Amino acid sequence: MAKFKFKKNDTVVTHDNFVAIVVDMGEGEDGVNYYECKPAAFPGIAREFPEDHLKPIELTWRWLWEEVRKTCSCDEFADNIIGHLMDEHESWEWDAIIPMSALSALN
């Protein structure tokens, strides 16, 4: 039986820098562990990746602010959105790991 580095619902970063959620895994005929992952931030088709194309991720409030800022090009808007989520989840440290419930609220 294969030993898997990740498990279902883990958040990972792919080799091409996409944040994804592991939805399934299995061992290929070549003996390599493969993971089926779907995009974390938007609906999309799941893709399969070999284990060495994935790395764990720890999403922080700072990272999320930077991603929102890139999308909307407005510091004040990013401040308001992320500030509201931080207050709602009683988490005020910029480098704290974001609770999954906060990420779900963004979808």
Among residues 56, 73, 91, which one ends one of the domains?
A: 56
pLDDT band, very low/low/confident/very high, at 23 (cuts 50, 70, 90): very high
**DSSP assignment letter at 53:** G
9: left (phi over 0), alpha (psi -120 to 50) or beta: left
Percentage with pLDDT > 90 across the chain: 27
Q: Is residue 90 part of a domain?
A: yes
Q: Is residue 1 part of a domain?
A: no
* Tens-place pLDDT, residues 71-103: 777 788 888 888 888 898 888 888 888 876 776
pTM score of the predicted model: 0.55
Q: Is residue 6 part of a domain?
A: no
| Domain extent at residue 68 | 61-106
Is 42 in the same domain as 19?
Answer: yes
CA 100 → CA 42, 44, 103, 107, distances in Å?
Answer: 15, 19, 5, 11
Q: Is residue 3 part of a domain?
A: no
Is 16 in the same domain as 44?
Answer: yes
Is 47 in the same domain as 65?
Answer: no
Is 49 in the same domain as 77?
Answer: no
CA 73 → CA 6, 60, 62, 68, 106, distances in Å?
Answer: 34, 19, 16, 8, 17
Which DSSP string do the residues of 70-106 spell out, in sequence order? HHH--HHHHHHHHHHHHHHTT---TTSBPPHHHHHHH
Is 15 in the same domain as 52?
Answer: yes
pLDDT at 51: 95
